[in-house]
Amino acid sequence: MASIIQLKDVTVTVRPNNGHRITILKNVSFDIDRSEIVAVMGPSGSGKSTLLHAMSGLIPSEGDIELDGIKVNKLSRTQAAAWRLKNVGFVFQAFYLQSYLTVIQNIITPGSFASIPKQDVMQRAMGLLERLGMSDKAERYPDELSGGEMQRVAIARAMVCTPMYVFADEPTGNLDATNAAHIIDSLLEMRKLYGATIIIVTHSPSVASRCDRVVYMKDGAIYE
Ligand SMILES: Nc1ncnc2c1ncn2[C@@H]1O[C@H](COP(=O)(O)OP(=O)(O)OP(=O)(O)O)[C@@H](O)[C@H]1O
Ligand SMILES: [Mg+2]
């Protein structure tokens, strides 16, 4: 089976305050099959979040990153944003919920940008909230939620447009075992329903055990 995601010699360097160059990712190469669910594990600071950001074109990188034929790191910022909106559901480690929007408004926002009929988005959003045990919180604001609840809103927002790729950065980091299992169930269902390809950064061995494969990172490199 052809790989849907191909990374070849991907390197990310930064120059904080225009000082010394720091290499965060070093010649990372690996392939992911269509509908595969991959866990990325490794110590804090090993480059896991940076890898997800590079794969979704959120940060510049060298080397080749190709997702279903799209050379993600060769797109302009505008092209990358349009491609992401259609194809990528990203669960950020820091949630990035909009504090002036309610839970339901946060979830439906990507759908309205992606020009999906409002009624469909709303229906999906309510369904996701229900699954994630958050139906009664739809009209709350983020600062009225616990960390685990914010995390579940961020996950629902990432799933609302049924993206082909889901990149989830520590999606269960703030959750108890039961809620963590619900999240993983929901992600696995996205593969079953329409074949999404999913990458989950996690420190949790029980989350990793439910993925097809585990990729380990250390010092900005992959050792599988
Ligand atoms: N914009 C940046 N400027 C300078 N250094 C950065 C930048 N972004 C990340 N780094 C550094 O790159 C390394 C990898 O960061 P990254 O966030 O990818 O790690 P991580 O594996 O996700 O860690 P954690 O498990 O703690 O989330 C860290 O040492 C971090 O300090
Ligand atoms: Mg991280």
Q: Where are the chain's structural domains? A: 35-58+71-223
Q: Residue 98: what pLDDT?
A: 93
Q: Residue 35: what pLDDT?
A: 95
What confidence tens digit (pLDDT) does each residue in 55-74 have?
999 999 999 999 999 999 99
Contact 72, 8 (CB under 8 A): no
Which bound ligand lies closest to the C-alpha atom of 41?
1
Contact 51, 61 (CB under 8 A): no
What confidence tens digit (pLDDT) does each residue in 202-216 have?
999 999 999 999 999
pLDDT at 1 over 70: no
Range 35-58+71-223 classified under CATH 3.40.50.720: no
pLDDT at 166 over 90: yes
pLDDT at 186 over 90: no
113/208: higher pLDDT: 208
Q: Is the shortest distance between the CB of 177 and ligand 1 below 6 Å?
A: no
CA-nearest residue, atom 17 of ligand 1: 49
Q: How far apart are CA 215 and CA 199, in angstroms?
A: 10
Q: How far apart are the first and last CA of the chain?
A: 20
